[in-house]
A and B are shown apart, each in its own frame.
Chain A
Amino acid sequence: MKITYSELPGKNPRFFMILGVLASIIAIGLGAAFYMEHSGHYVTGMSNQIVWGLPHIFAISLIVAASGILNVASIGTVFGKKPYKPLGRLSGLMAMTMLIGGLAILVLDLGRPDRLVVAMTTYNFKSIFSWNIYLYNGFLLIVGIYLWFMMERRMTQYYPYAGFVAFIWRLILTTGTGSIFGFLVAREAYDTAVLAPLFVLLSFSLGLAVFLLYLIVAFQSTGRPLGDGLLQRMKKLLGVFVAGVFYFVAVYHLTNLYLTNQHAFEAFILLHGGIYTVLFWLGYVLLGTVAPLVIFYHPSFGKTRNAVIIGSALTVLGSISLLYVIIIGGQAFPLEIFPGKEVIESSFFDGVVSSYTPTLWELLLGLAGVSIALIATVLGTRILPFMPDTLDDAVVNPQLD
């Protein structure tokens, strides 16, 4: 049976309600961003010690998820797995919208967001940040072309090539995102190449989990058939990705545990770092890694749709916890400016663990970014036929290679 696609039905009260809610969250978040810019960043929890805070967690989560979501399309196009092919359009759309949402947060948190045009025209090519601006813009362009080729009948013959370029690009993009931290020579938490592949694997798991959640909600709320066979197949893949992330996290920490000069940092994250230790063990390891794996591979519960939903949600939670530990925890741990010495007095918080309490404003800005991604997705599926009419197992044949 041939797969057909259609737009969301319009003039549906629930559709407008969703739009209204998302638009309100965005409006409130924009207000929060304006307030932060107008007063200055002192009204946030961020300081000269913790320079990147909650908005950056939201932004990087969305950007990492964006590249990961495109995997679903790549698995169909590049790796030729037929059951994934009907998901390609939605995957490409969400990859673009999630990236836009994440970038919106980053831009609105800048000290001078009014100088966006400077960021887009003045480059220092030694900066990984500059490369990322190209990678992000290029991603939007390439995925746009990929979608066009996928959806335009006359271009269909070229779309595997576009899919291949998009796949390579997204790997480079997430490598770039991880390298934003990997290239920071000064800090104990960063300055390691392993952060790049860690971020790539994290994008695989976070992206697929977000995609699964959106797919289930969107199909159930629009009454489109969604086969459990397909979900089970994707769930198994998600399990592999979750384990893959854990492998890189383990390599990261075991390497540090071997290096004497990193012992203090490891003791901070793993033993007595307060919120960061809790988030690492409880948030990332237990709820974000062990629990989804147990749920996914449980012989009976694992076969249910609830297992997919709960497991995916826990994966999202775990990924955000991990990013929080890496990004905020990495900054909270004091810089070692005077090796072999302890700081007994400083007016600038040298040698002490910096504290960070996110404020409501930062949370509102972050939620606005998520809402921008969601509203763009919903509107996209309303305007153009991104969503398959049915993903029933009889149509998709999830057992196919």
Chain B
Amino acid sequence: MKQKRIISLFLTGLAMLGLFLSNVANADSELFSPHRETPKAIAQVSEVQGCVEPTEVMRRQHMQFILHQRDETMHQGIRTTKHSLLECINCHVTYDENQQPVSYKDERHFCSTCHHYAAVHIDCFECHNSKPMESVVKPIPNNPDFISPIKFDSAKAMAEQTGQPAGETQP
């Protein structure tokens, strides 16, 4: 009698785990699809240049790139810049009202906008600085790299980026 109860408890647990895992595996399923209003990063990329890989690739695979580079840098001392976290941070800068770069603790930070929404913890910034190197980008209003959060038109930027007229939803 008791044993049956324990076995059924165990089976229920397994079933719940399975359900959870299948949801994770189907991250593209309707539950996670962009039907809902997903948050947009304020500074998607610089206004004047693209990212190192196409946006769709970066969306899905940025972690693989960073991980690969991480191990190469750590163990082999390869410090190329294409897939380095440092360069992500130097390029994807969001400024606050005082024209200072925000850290990952701010929801407007490039990485945080999405990670915050998806509730995926970013371990990188436990050790790495989430703000750009001071020498790289200075918050000068007329600097082409500087995008004020107030002035920034996200729809326009998205359109430019994807090559579609503003207002249309993404494929």
Query: Are chains A and B touching directly in their complex (CB below 8 angstroms)?
Result: yes
Q: Give A residues with C-beta under 8 Å from B.
A: 383-384
Q: List 3 A-B contacts (CB under 8 A).
A: A383-B2, A383-B6, A384-B2
Chain A residue, CB-CB nearest to B3: A384
Provide the residues of chain B in CB contact with A383, threshold 8 Å: 2, 6
Q: How many A-B residue pairs have CB under 8 A?
A: 3
Q: 3 tightest A-B contacts by CB?
A: A383-B2, A384-B2, A383-B6
Give the CA-CA distance A384 to B3 in the complex, in Å. 9
Contact with A along B125-169 (1 / 0, CB 8 A): 000000000000000000000000000000000000000000000
Give the CA-CA distance A22 to B59 in the complex, in Å. 47
Provide the residues of chain B in CB contact with A384, threshold 8 Å: 2
Chain A residue, CB-CB nearest to B6: A383
Give the CA-CA distance A384 to B6 in the complex, in Å. 10
Give the total of B residues in contact with A, Cβ under 8 Å. Answer: 2
Provide the residues of chain A in CB contact with B2, threshold 8 Å: 383-384
Give the CA-CA distance A383 to B6 in the complex, in Å. 9
Contact with A along B1-24 (1 / 0, CB 8 A): 010001000000000000000000
Give the CA-CA distance A384 to B2 in the complex, in Å. 8
CB B149 to nearest CB in A, in angstroms, measures 30
Chain A residue, CB-CB nearest to B5: A383
CB B8 to nearest CB in A, in angstroms, measures 14
Provide the residues of chain A in CB contact with B6, threshold 8 Å: 383
CB B70 to nearest CB in A, in angstroms, measures 14
CB A170 to nearest CB in B, in angstroms, measures 26
Give the CA-CA distance A383 to B2 in the complex, in Å. 8
CB A19 to nearest CB in B, in angstroms, measures 19
CB A6 to nearest CB in B, in angstroms, measures 12
Give the CA-CA distance A383 to B7 in the complex, in Å. 13
CB B24 to nearest CB in A, in angstroms, measures 15
CB A247 to nearest CB in B, in angstroms, measures 45
CB B140 to nearest CB in A, in angstroms, measures 36
CB A175 to nearest CB in B, in angstroms, measures 33
Chain A residue, CB-CB nearest to B126: A112
Give the CA-CA distance A383 to B9 in the complex, in Å. 13
CB A189 to nearest CB in B, in angstroms, measures 33
CB B4 to nearest CB in A, in angstroms, measures 13
Chain A residue, CB-CB nearest to B121: A114
CB B126 to nearest CB in A, in angstroms, measures 8
CB B131 to nearest CB in A, in angstroms, measures 21
CB A283 to nearest CB in B, in angstroms, measures 40
Contact with A along B97-123 (1 / 0, CB 8 A): 000000000000000000000000000
CB B110 to nearest CB in A, in angstroms, measures 23
Give the CA-CA distance A204 to B2 in the complex, in Å. 34
Give the CA-CA distance A139 to B6 in the complex, in Å. 23
CB B104 to nearest CB in A, in angstroms, measures 16
CB B1 to nearest CB in A, in angstroms, measures 12
CB B53 to nearest CB in A, in angstroms, measures 27
Give the CA-CA distance A383 to B5 in the complex, in Å. 11
Chain B residue, CB-CB nearest to A385: B2
Give the CA-CA distance A384 to B5 in the complex, in Å. 12
Give the CA-CA distance A231 to B6 in the complex, in Å. 34
Contact with A along B33-72 (1 / 0, CB 8 A): 0000000000000000000000000000000000000000
CB B99 to nearest CB in A, in angstroms, measures 31
CB B127 to nearest CB in A, in angstroms, measures 10
CB A111 to nearest CB in B, in angstroms, measures 11
CB B10 to nearest CB in A, in angstroms, measures 13
Chain B residue, CB-CB nearest to A112: B126
Chain B residue, CB-CB nearest to A384: B2
Give the CA-CA distance A20 to B38 in the complex, in Å. 44
Give the CA-CA distance A387 to B6 in the complex, in Å. 19
CB B135 to nearest CB in A, in angstroms, measures 30
CB A215 to nearest CB in B, in angstroms, measures 24
Chain B residue, CB-CB nearest to A7: B2
Give the CA-CA distance A257 to B6 in the complex, in Å. 57
CB A117 to nearest CB in B, in angstroms, measures 12
CB B90 to nearest CB in A, in angstroms, measures 27
Give the CA-CA distance A383 to B10 in the complex, in Å. 14
Give the CA-CA distance A167 to B6 in the complex, in Å. 28
